[in-house]
Structure 1
């Protein structure tokens, strides 16, 4: 029986992240060209600027664990500073500055610890949000909790929610013009996988025995077919809302690979799954809009979709469209996550959220296929 590559035939996408300073490899050669092409288009960078950024992001990600450990209880968040080409760590205790800088990161003073901000966000996660509250997250660079609300809302429930939010700690309120939506799509042509012959999503990453994708794409037991209509597998697990991830077990006709569809820019080979920092570049692949890049703006974001609230997402300024749900996100050659939803589109731009891949691997005990 003919065996089919998951990525090539099923529209799988992957994310790539920078390599480590001393013990990890630089971004793989197979990742550089597709990432470079999209970063030039979407971030307005030259070829040399892309190469320089990827080379700087890799060691910055490598020092993150040591820098956080050096800050200890004074850790106040971290982010990648593209202008300086370094990881920046906030500290609430100036005595920790030298230890953080010794790891290769920069240290800056902040008022609140990451633990305090995360606790405030967790308190909000326990509240029922009105529909015009579109989400909330910790802005590590601003050292504040941010709540996003629909511009012009007059709903009294929104003000009550904001009053409760402000009681938890420092809060900034941002107005947004659009409501986030999920990126599942109806049956149309293109590289994708299909759920019960009624909806289309995008493959995220190959794992041993199948692939991971978004939870809102299907439920346990739902059947999955490839773009040619052939049987592909079955959803073995799915979590949505609350989370937004799923695991599809494929049949023997489909061979999981480490490749991600670069949609005309060359495939990317995934080499690992080290999480990138706020401020780092990230690229995504999906069966509707193809290959696009942006930067990570926040982690642990809670998004209030019409279908239910999801926590623990990563916020980006890369675009996506319906049908891209479940598709891959990479930073360099490191897998980052799978597309959840967002607002806007790839004509005018927008905000897109992804479910971190490491949580999916842990939840189902899966092993990422790498090259």
Structure 2
């Protein structure tokens, strides 16, 4: 979250950190033998899942009915499951059909494949195996045909469609089956290839003019601050695209001038970023319960089934689980692709607010149905595409210090901090090739040779 702090204090901190680094480097003449390398950090240590904040544990206890010990164990299991799923994705290759976690406390990992000969390899990684008919690539192709059809025809009665990994199907949510069948035929698909979920719920974007802590757009609408970001020397925050158009002016909760929308996309995507004035300073903080702060350590994408918590200026701090990634939602204003569907509740004014999985940023609130009295479904725009699209760097707890770059950082496909990497992409670092295991924005502290949670040597 963006906070108001004195800029003089910030400069003093930077100077002190610089002096500390300089005095900590011994001269070449005095340098002794290098220390023996220690064990590499586990996935839970890299992602901060082994040290969850009290605010996260309390909210998981309230919303998922977990004890503190159960919530702590679940966060660690989810972090480790993400790494194991990434390794298995590399092993299974084109036969990979997705991965998800399930279970209230254990977060059991299940990995799907279309080749039964891979079952032993999956079990060797401590995961449950399921053999299915369609690869993840096959399912994605079917969904893309629905996406294309939605750009040609109106879909008011089929507001949501997504890849459902556990059922190994693409699912269309519709107000009635007839509408779903019509949409499927418009995409040139056979109705037997697509599952249908009938529901009266129609997701809507969650912006409104109500009281409470917020940021205001052109003195008209209210949304919630997402994650603090930087772009070069500029500071600001990521939020939802439907909150404001480029150039729209923003004000803080006290109505003091704050900044303006530097970029915004909606519909198709629901992403924006606001540049703030010198009275505001980017921090890695997200507002938790009772105004306590939860700090963001990175942006590693969580698996389907993982727990997530959301902060919003209307309803505060709530938790739930991820149901699907890459969902498409047909709002009244247009269709948005690439959203993540969750069981977390939200209400108007929560739009733009942050979703986190433990200490990892996940995305900003887009829209949904229901409310926080009776429960509902909420969608978020993933944060990594926002960072990549607008060239932003997420503000995290790890200092983004300037370190000597490896010799191949400047070459094509060389690893570089600040870049967003997708699972399966490959890089060169220190003359060695690595493949990415989980979607994330790279940080200096997360170079490939020291983070087996995120990178696997080829």
| TM-superposed deviation, 1:51 | 1.8
Change (3 A) 1:36 1:22: closer
Q: Deviations over 1:206-231 (max 9, x none)?
A: 01111000000001000011011111
Residues 1:100 and 2:122 are matched in the alignment: yes
Q: Which moved more, 1:118-127 or 1:261-270?
A: 261-270
Instruction: Please report the TM-score for the alignment, with normalisation by the length of structure 1.
Output: 0.90
1:1-371 correspondence runs (5 A): 4=4, 21=43, 24-27=46-49, 29=51, 31-82=52-103, 84-127=106-149, 128-151=153-176, 158-164=180-186, 166-167=189-190, 170-186=193-209, 188-208=210-230, 209-264=235-290, 266-371=292-397
Moved more, 128-137 or 117-126: 128-137
Moved more, 328-337 or 75-84: 75-84
Match of 1:11 in 2: none
- For residues 104 and 178 of structure 1, what CA distance do their matches in structure 2 show? 38
State the alpha-carbon separation in 2 of the partners of residues 109 and 252 from structure 1. Answer: 56
**Conserved? CA contact 1:20–1:58, under 8 Å:** no
Cα drift, residue 162 of structure 1: 3.3
Distance 1:223 1:289 in 2: 24
Query: How far apart are residue 168 of structure 1 and its match?
Result: 7.6
Deviation, structure 1 residue 27: 2.3
Unaligned 5+ residue runs, structure 1? 7-18
Do the aligned partners of 1:67 and 1:105 also contact (CA within 8 Å) in 2? no
Q: Note if contact 2:208-2:222 (Cα within 8 Å) is conserved in structure 1.
A: yes
Give the TM-score taking structure 2 as reference length.
0.73
Query: Larger RCO: Structure 1 or Structure 2 (Cα < 8 Å, ≥ 6 residues apart)?
Result: 1
**Contact 2:139–2:169 (Cα < 8 Å) also in 1:** yes
**Unmatched runs of 5 consecutive residues or more in structure 2:** 7-40, 398-458
> Deviation digits for residues 332-358 of structure 1, max 9, x if unmatched?
100000000000000000000000000
Shift of 1:23: 6.2
Q: Compare 160-169 and 290-299 and name the one that shifted more.
A: 160-169
RMSD over equivalenced CA pairs, Å: 2.0
**In structure 2, distance between residues paired with 1:357 and 1:268:** 17
Aligned equivalents of 2:139, 2:192: Cα separation in 1? 7
Give yes or no for contact 1:92–1:109 (8 Å, CA) kept in 2.
yes
CA distance in 2, matches of 1:235, 1:77: 36
Quote the Cα distance in structure 2 between the aligned partners of 1:117 and 1:317. 23
User: Max radius of gyration: which structure?
Assistant: 2
The aligned length equals 352
Runs of 4+ in 1 over 4 A off after TM superposition: none
Cα distance in 2 for residues equivalent to 1:263 and 1:68: 36
Which stretch of the first structure deviates more once superposed, 20-29 or 278-287?
20-29
CA shift for structure 1 position 25: 4.7
Q: Measure the CA separation in 1 of the matches of 2:276 and 2:291.
A: 27
Distance 2:193 2:53 in 1: 40
1:63-113 alpha-carbon deviations (Å, 9 max, x no partner) = 222121111100011101236533211000112223333444332211110
